């Protein structure tokens, strides 16, 4: 569009008006929403992975109990027969476990380290396997380099009869007099061992 001003021809900026239904929406907002969606998805994946990953610690704490240790005799992985009464005079951690149990696997290195540090103080661990084939148990002992006694329980005498539990892992602390003092359901952390088991080991030292 042109105008004549002061005898000169000038041009003016053209202005176009479009119906609203013909205006294309901006692409910025969808891109922002897409980015936020991706962030939320990644955050969710990270949260699920973090909670599914093995943790170095367990939130479970022991429950104080007070009853006589059950009568229990089983074969170990070398086919030797042993009884809980053989350990009278020691502090014993009885650990009921299975090769397929994730928290059982997670706590084993902690149990082994604690055992190594306190064996000279009259502390023992008896890991009683709950029904796995002997070959699987032997492989597990080899893989985790376990040096404490491992007993076999193919008929579930320890879980169903002696300690009356269906939970794995479950652990029990028997003092030097043969009294069950603590019990765990779930994995054992080093913090809980130091806090609750070490004082029992130090009794009457």
**Which residue, chain included where needed, has tokens 């030292």?**
205
Tell whether 30 is covered by a domain. Answer: no
Tell whether 130 is covered by a domain. Answer: yes
CATH code of the domain containing 76: 3.40.30.10
pLDDT number for residue 35:
64
Q: How many domains does the chain have?
A: 1
Tell whether 3 is covered by a domain. Answer: no
Smallest CA-to-CA distance from 119 within 149, 150, 78 is with 149
Q: Tell me the C-alpha distance between 205 and 196, whole Å.
A: 16
Tell whether 55 is covered by a domain. Answer: no
pLDDT higher than threshold 50 for residue 15? no
Q: What is the pLDDT of residues 86-110, one digit of tens each?
A: 999 999 999 999 999 999 999 999 9
Tell whether 32 is covered by a domain. Answer: no
Tell whether 51 is covered by a domain. Answer: no
pLDDT number for residue 127:
98
Q: Tell me the C-alpha distance between 125 and 92, whole Å.
A: 6
Contact 151, 129 (CB under 8 A): yes
pLDDT number for residue 16:
41
pLDDT higher than threshold 80 for residue 7? no
Q: Around 76, how many Cα atoms within 13 Å sit in the side-chain half-sphere?
A: 15
Tell whether 190 is covered by a domain. Answer: yes
Contact 172, 180 (CB under 8 A): yes
pLDDT number for residue 82:
97
Region of 89 please: left (phi>0), alpha (psi -120 to 50) or beta. left
**Cis previous bond, 65, omega within 30:** no
Q: What is the pLDDT of residues 152-201, one digit of tens each?
A: 999 999 999 999 999 999 999 999 999 999 999 999 999 999 999 999 99
pLDDT number for residue 31:
66
Residue 42 banded pLDDT, cuts 50, 70, 90: low
pTM over 0.85: no
Tell whether 120 is covered by a domain. Answer: yes
Classify residue 109 as exposed, middle or buried by CB count within 10 Å of its CB (0-12, 13-18, 19+): middle
**Strand 150-153 and strand 123-130: pairing?**
parallel
Domain of residue 86: give its range: 63-202
Contact 84, 147 (CB under 8 A): no
Smallest CA-to-CA distance from 12 within 1, 28, 21 is with 1
């Amino acid at each position: 569009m042109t105008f004549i001003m002061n005898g000169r021809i000038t041009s003016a900026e053209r202005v176009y008006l479009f119906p609203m239904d013909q205006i294309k929406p901006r692409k910025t907002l969808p891109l922002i929403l897409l980015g936020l969606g991706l962030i939320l998805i990644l955050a969710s994946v990270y949260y699920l992975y973090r909670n599914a990953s093995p943790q170095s610690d367990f939130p479970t704490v022991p429950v104080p109990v007070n009853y006589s240790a059950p009568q229990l005799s089983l074969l170990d992985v070398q086919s030797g027969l042993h009884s809980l009464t053989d350990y009278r005079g020691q502090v014993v951690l009885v650990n009921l476990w299975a090769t397929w149990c994730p928290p059982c696997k997670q706590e084993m290195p902690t149990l082994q380290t604690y055992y190594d540090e306190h064996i000279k103080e009259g502390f023992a661990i008896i890991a009683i396997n709950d029904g796995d084939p002997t070959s699987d148990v032997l492989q597990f002992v080899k893989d985790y380099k376990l040096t404490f006694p491992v007993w076999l329980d193919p008929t579930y005498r320890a879980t169903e009869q002696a300690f009356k539990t269906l939970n794995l892992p479950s652990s029990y602390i028997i003092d030097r007099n043969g009294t069950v003092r603590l019990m765990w359901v779930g994995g054992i952390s080093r913090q809980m061992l130091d806090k609750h088991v070490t004082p029992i080991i130090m009794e009457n030292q």
